Amino acid sequence: MAIKEYRKGVCVQLAENFKTTEFDCNGKGCCSKTLIDEKLVEYLQTIRDHFGKPVKISSSYRCEIHNPKVGGVKLSLHLKGMAADITIEGVEPAEVAKYAESIGVKGIGLY
C-alpha cells in the first residue's frame, strides 16, 4: 500500500463507494493536490461494507495551509492523507470506532 497524489477536484474512483474528491482538502484556494493513503481507503470500504451504510467523510487530506486553520496539530496524519474524520448516519461513533479498531485501524479519536 502507498500514499498516492491526485489532483484536487478531479474525480477518480478509488473503491466501490469512494472517490478522490471525498478526500480533498476543504480549504479554498490553498492547494491543488490531494494525498490519499490506499490503506485508508481499504479500511473505509471495509467499514462501509460492514455497516451497509454510506460513510460520510467530513475531513481527510489537509494541506499545510488549511490544517492549522481548523486546529490541526503540526504532525497530523491528515497532512499525509492518512486520516479521515467520518460519520455513519444512525450508527454511534463509539460503535464505528470499536469496529474500526477491530480491523486494525490505529489512532482513532472520538469527537
What string of pLDDT tens digits covers the 111 residues of the chain?
Answer: 699 999 999 999 999 999 999 999 999 999 999 999 999 999 999 999 999 999 999 999 999 999 999 999 999 999 999 999 999 999 999 999 999 999 999 989 887
Residues 6+ apart with CB under 8 A from 52: none
In this prediction, residue 1 carries a pLDDT of 65
Do the beta carbons of residue 34 and residue 8 sit within 8 Å? yes
Residue 111's pLDDT is what? 75
Write the DSSP assignment of 12-81 as a string of letters: -EEETTEEGGGGS---SSS-SEEEEEHHHHHHHHHHHHHHTSPPEEEE----TTHHHHTT--TT-GGGGT
pLDDT at 100: 97
Cα separation, 81 vs 101, in Å, equals: 19
Single pTM value for the model = 0.94
| Under 8 Å between Cβ of 13 and 21 | no
Strand partners, 15: 18
